[in-house]
Amino acid sequence: MKTPCSLVLALAVAAVASVTGQTIDLSRYRLVDLSHGYGPSTLYWPTSTTKFSLTRDADGPTPGGWFYAANTLSTPEHGGTHLDAPRHFSEKGRTTDQVPLEQLVAPAVVLDVTKEAAANRDYRLTREAVLAFEKAHGPIARGSAVLLRTGWSRHWPNAKAYLGDDTPGDTSKLSFPSYGVEAARLLVEERGAAALGIDTASIDYGRSTDFQVHRVAAARNVPGFENLTNLDQLPVRGAVVIALPMKIEGGSGGPLRAIALVPR
């Protein structure tokens, strides 16, 4: 008899098979956790007025003699490993609860720019870099979740190293790598990417003041997966991403538990 955990996993695998057309034997895959945990050290955008809070409402024995625990949690939508719904930067964009599952469960394509990011923390992925990737690895198929690996999750949760500055309320000195707008246009408008993901705080680079990548993605109802981790454990192709956010009605984003199924 299946345990609840294995049943959930089996249902997730069935969803992947339905979306991607693949038949998946779990024994042939390993699971990779792509999410940071939520807690006191979770990083948020500097303008967030609150952070993660967990209040223990009950945690101990009951009068009836059994143990019981329950908590109340509070968090901004945009912090930790989270989803950016299109609504975040588009008045007509889909809200968190409206993002189709086909964009949350998708084949992954991983672009590795760790060398470029190490040399320049303000690096932005270029259109030319995407075309060079395709020349080496083949075209990026429509419906792929494109994940940009910068190596930045190694800095988590050191705010100054990760964001470039740790001054509360001030975004003027942020510095970290991400997508460039022309690369985003290629991926979203021409390749039909299902989602853009990254292991930094934003799909726009840290020094951005106009958030063009967010706007390009939101205009096509393409969500973003931000503050991912463990992208170094994924192959260039072959993995399947399952990125399921808290289903917040009318939300502009939300906490995200993202995993990948990687062929053994």
Give catalytic residues, as residue numbers. 88
What is the C-alpha to C-alpha distance for residues 243 and 229, in angstroms, rounded to an integer? 12
CA atoms within 13 A on the CB side of 259: 11
203, 188 contact by CB (below 8 A): no
Write down the H helix ranges in the chain.
4-20, 101-104, 114-119, 127-137, 159-163, 181-185, 212-219
Q: How far is CA 119 from CA 123, 124, 151, in A?
A: 8, 12, 12
